[in-house]
Amino acid sequence: MNVIFTIIHIFGLVTIGFSALMATCLMTSLISHDGATISFFESTAVTLVLGALMFFPTLRTTKKVSRQTSFLLVSMTWSLIPAFCTLPLMIHMPEISFIDAYFETVSGLTTTGSTVLTGLDHLPMSINLWRHELNWIGGMGIIILAVAILPILGIGGMQLYKAEAPGAVKESELPPRIAQTAKALWLVYAGYTLTCIIALKLAGMDWFDSICHAFSAMSLGGFSTHDSNVGFFNSLSIEMVLSAFQLLAAINFATHFIALRKRTLKPYARDMEARSFLMLILLSCIATAAVLWHAGTYSDYFTALRHASFNLITIATSSGFSTQDFNQWPIFVPMWMLFLSCISASSGSTGGGIRMIRTIILVKQSRLELYKFIHPFSVKPLKIGDNIISHNIVASVTGFIFLYFISIVILVFLLLLSGLDFLSAFTAIIASFNNAGPGLNEVGPMTNYASLTDFQTSVCIIAMLLGRVQIFSMIILFVPEFWKK
């Protein structure tokens, strides 16, 4: 019984926190007179009261949290909090169904960036701000998930990074306690967001667009205030700023912390994830631009390089902005972009997908298996840099990647069963699972997910949630042995 009260207590506190977040949008609505004041007043009041009813009666509950409770709380937070977040949308737009509103808020909090809304240019300022605040808070949340929760199962991004990666974190200590580490990484996150806001303003955006798009860029969320997304601005300088900050957001925030504290770029050079990620993105931009130019999609190589680079970076980092209808590009390019969204982002970043450290471990393990096939009696450990990777880590990564792909296969088949065409179904699940936003065909960058049925939308919601919490955190709840320990 104490476990239940503990969960209710902590969840109540989180709910109160989101009511405070709604209050910022209430203030925005009051100042801008955008017509959504009543919606946010009612939403804030309801969320605050429900949170208080959960939090205060359980104040005397023992605050000890077991590993089972931790994972249940993670799943509850990512699954149930979006239901509270639908209130401003449903009150202001009564025509929207709950499943569509829930899709929108799950997409925001999981930093996926898919949307079912149209007329974004004419939405009240406070509603647009709410969507982008969900992106930004979701980006913060995944950093804490990587630092505090997932390492318990041995699959956390920070655990993998600190234990296996030769570089910044190995050679310089982060703050020793979880709370201190989280605070340090959040300060970096907030500082980069502020810098991005200023850079976007200097590049030509107004202050409101700068704030919203900076929130989306640093969280790798991909929401925009315009139906035509970043293409609305048609600005090379804005695209360059967003590209730079999306690349930063896809690198481990621990590396950023060490680099800023030491005031040197050396931690990036020693970070194998960052090196591999940046090299892969660079080569991909050059190659895909050549493909577009050769196909006659753009008249000159540099125009092709501009559009290929921005759209590839935003999908590969799992952000989801767009400036072009890459649905019309030669199929190799958008499919390569979606493939990159599976593997590119670093552990401890706000990105989605498998993460680069797992990709590196899997590649090295594959090479090691080939070596052992040729030299069956050799004893050669798997190493990254000078560090030996334990068999437990390799087994964990292998299990994770199997669950990753089998989950995608099952969800794609569910969409196919519902009548969706293969290209739309496959890319919708890949984009949702990697929290990358747009797919192709019916869910391409110039359309959105509004055309999907409620069942299809629900499948995409499941994909977004599984992708954001790195699969194990939810699936482990259905393993009976987990509850016996």
Helix axes 356-374, 157-164, angle to 10 degrees: 50
d(CA 69, CA 74): 9
Between these two residues, 459 and 175, which has the higher pLDDT value?
Answer: 459
Tokens (6 digits) for 320: 């989801």
Between these two residues, 264 and 161, which has the higher pLDDT value?
Answer: 264
The per-residue pLDDT for 154 is 44
The per-residue pLDDT for 161 is 36
Q: How far is CA 247 from CA 108, 262, 305, 389, in A?
A: 20, 20, 17, 27
Tokens (6 digits) for 265: 């770029």
Q: ∠ CA(226), CA(196), CA(285), 5° rounding?
A: 75
Least confident of 401-405, 459-463, 467-471: 467-471
8 A C-beta contact, residue 64 and residue 127: no
Q: What is the pLDDT of residues 208-253, one digit of tens each?
A: 999 999 999 999 999 999 999 999 999 999 999 999 999 999 999 9
The per-residue pLDDT for 73 is 81
Between these two residues, 306 and 147, which has the higher pLDDT value?
Answer: 306
Between these two residues, 302 and 4, which has the higher pLDDT value?
Answer: 302
Tokens (6 digits) for 418: 């519902």
Place of tokens 């200590």: 173
Cβ contacts of 479 within 8 Å, gap of 6 or more: none
The per-residue pLDDT for 163 is 34
Helix axes 301-316, 332-343, angle to 10 degrees: 40
The per-residue pLDDT for 6 is 81
pTM: 0.91
The per-residue pLDDT for 179 is 61
8 A C-beta contact, residue 156 and residue 67: no
d(CA 359, CA 238): 31
Sort 344 into a burial class: Cβ within 10 Å, 0-12 / 13-18 / 19+.
buried
Between these two residues, 389 and 447, which has the higher pLDDT value?
Answer: 447
Q: Is the pLDDT of residue 422 over 90?
A: yes
The per-residue pLDDT for 174 is 56
Q: Is the pLDDT of residue 378 over 50?
A: yes
Paired strand residues for 384: 387
d(CA 418, CA 36): 36
Half-sphere exposure in the Cβ direction for 210 (13 Å, CA): 17
The per-residue pLDDT for 66 is 72
Sort 475 into a burial class: Cβ within 10 Å, 0-12 / 13-18 / 19+.
middle
Q: Is the pLDDT of residue 165 over 80?
A: no
The per-residue pLDDT for 164 is 31
